[in-house]
Amino acid sequence: MDSKKCKCGAGNKIFCKKCSKIQMCILLKNGNDHLKLENLRGHKANPVWYSHLKYNFKPEKDIIEGMLRRFYNTPLVPSTNIVKFYYNGTNTELFTYKL
């Protein structure tokens, strides 16, 4: 996972659902279903962001700070209740940030 390119064969260069080190789950407040994404089964799901591949070599703390910095520049902030960070491969929870 310590590469600047995707190794799973998907050919992603910025972030990858499988190769990124950390995933960020944005848990929205009630009544914000219009901001949720529709999955393959047609259900609404909270947005999930993946860390940039070029930062996989950095410590988790630095990656989380960068993801939060990018998150604060989006229109999702006022509608967000909690942001949770997980290791991408194991889904082990790293950090919870309550807004």
Model confidence band, residue 3 (pLDDT cutoffs 50, 70, 90): low
Range of the domain at 63: 22-98
What does the pLDDT read at residue 63?
95
Residue 45 lies in a domain: yes
Residue 15 lies in a domain: no
Residue 54 lies in a domain: yes
How do beta strands 44-45 and 48-50 pair? unpaired
Decide: 22 and 51 in contact? Cβ < 8 Å. Answer: yes
Q: What percent of the chain has pLDDT over 70?
A: 96
What does the pLDDT read at residue 25?
96
pTM: 0.87
Residue 93 lies in a domain: yes
User: What is the per-residue pLDDT across 15-62, written as a single tens digit (0 to 9) for each?
Assistant: 888 889 999 999 999 999 999 999 889 999 999 999 999 998 999 999
Residue 8 lies in a domain: no
Query: Helix, strand or coil for residue 44?
Result: strand
Decide: 83 and 24 in contact? Cβ < 8 Å. Answer: yes
Tell me the residue type at 23.
Answer: Q
Residue 85 lies in a domain: yes
Residue 26 lies in a domain: yes
Residue 2 lies in a domain: no
Total number of domains constituting the chain: 1
